[in-house]
Every structure is written in C-alpha cells, then in structure tokens.
Amino acid sequence: MRIARALFDPALDDFPLRLNRWLDLIGHRMVLALPIGIGLAAVGVAAASYRIPAWRPWRGPALALAATCLTGQVLVNQLKHYTTLPRPYDLDSLGGYTPYPSYWWTWVRAGGGGALPSGHAGAGYSMLTLYFLGWALGRPAWRWWGLAAGIAGGVGFSTVRILQGAHFLSQTLWSATLMWFLAALFFYPLIVARPAVSGLNH
C-alpha cells in the first residue's frame, strides 16, 4: 500500500503512468504472449522428439515446461476472480470506486478483485521454468541463467504494472510463488529420476 500511495498523484486523482503508451504496450499487452509462446514452443519440441531421435531427452522436460506455463496462466486467470483485493487504481482511496476489502477470499466470482495473483507478473515469472529445465537436463549453467532470467522477467513486468497502479507488490509476489510451485510440481518427477552425477546438479 505504501508503494501505491507514493506513486499516486492526488492532483490527478490517478496514477500518472497508468495510461503510458509504451508501458501499456510492453508490460500489459505483449507480455501475455510470453508464457503461451514458451508453452507452445515446448509442445512443438516434445512432438518433434518423436521424429528426431536427438531430441528425445528433451521430451519430458519440454512437456513439464509446457504444463507449467499453460497451467500457470489458467490458474492465475481463475484465482484472481476469487481473491478480493482489487487493483490499486480501483480503490476509493486511490482514485477508484471500491473500498478496501474486509476479507481475502470469496466463492462468488462477482465479488473477486480481479488482480490477485497478477497475470502479467505471472507471465514474466513463467521464465522461472528455465531454471527447472536446466536442472532436469543436467545443465547447471542453464539452470542458473534460467533463474536469473525468471527473476529479471518477473520483477521487470511486475514493476511496470506497479508503476501503472495496476497491482500491489504482494499481488505480484503471489504470482511468483504460484509459478515456482507449479514448476517444482511438474519437474519434480524428472529431477528425482536423474542420476546423482555431481554436487553441481543439486
């Protein structure tokens, strides 16, 4: 809430960067193609592995990557209709129309805030799957570069939406938690099935 209040301009009764053209294009519209694109590309790799023998070791990791990215987007877009915390710019204390909710969860979709977890932050944090991909393939360098890319993508797109008054920091962190959990869930069978080659792979 403190961050949102600091970004809110009382004179405008709005967030100055809310309708910024470039932030809206890159951080709002284009970013959602990221997890879908990664997921579909992974499905393509898995399908091609039946024709290309050299790609067969990639089949399981590619399917886990696709499952994480696509399931993540579905869950994010459903869960936000059952959590009540709205977007900052929708709060009546920040130029909006609705009071701060007195409860966190609702079973009635119409009562959802539509913002927790953040879909755009989740799209950025979908790149955390690259960390688990490197782990499952036994590629330590890919693993850590994937972690860096996931954090950078998630933090970057989260920052854009926070600056626009579209999300609280906590809403973006819930997205990171969800994407990490899903990646761990889908990649776990592949990781535990790998032989213990060296301490670098653990």
Closest residue by Cα to residue 114 from 98, 102, 128, 93: 98
Eight-class DSSP state of 197 = -
The tokens 């709060």 sit on which residue? 91
Give Dmax over CA atoms of the chain in angstroms.
63
Report CA dihedral (69, 19, 17, 151) to the nearest 10 degrees: 10
pTM: 0.88
State the average pLDDT over residues 48-58. Answer: 94
3-state secondary structure 72-102: HHHHHHHHCCCECCCCHHHEHHHCCCECCCC
pLDDT value of position 200: 45
**What's the rounded mean pLDDT across residues 32-50?**
92
Phi-psi region of 198 (alpha: psi -120 to 50; beta: other; left: phi over 0): beta
Q: In the predicted model, what is the mean pLDDT of residues 155-164?
A: 93
**Predicted confidence (pLDDT) at residue 70 exceeds the cutoff of 80:** yes
Average pLDDT over residues 17-41: 85
Q: What integer pLDDT is reported at residue 199 of this predicted model?
A: 46
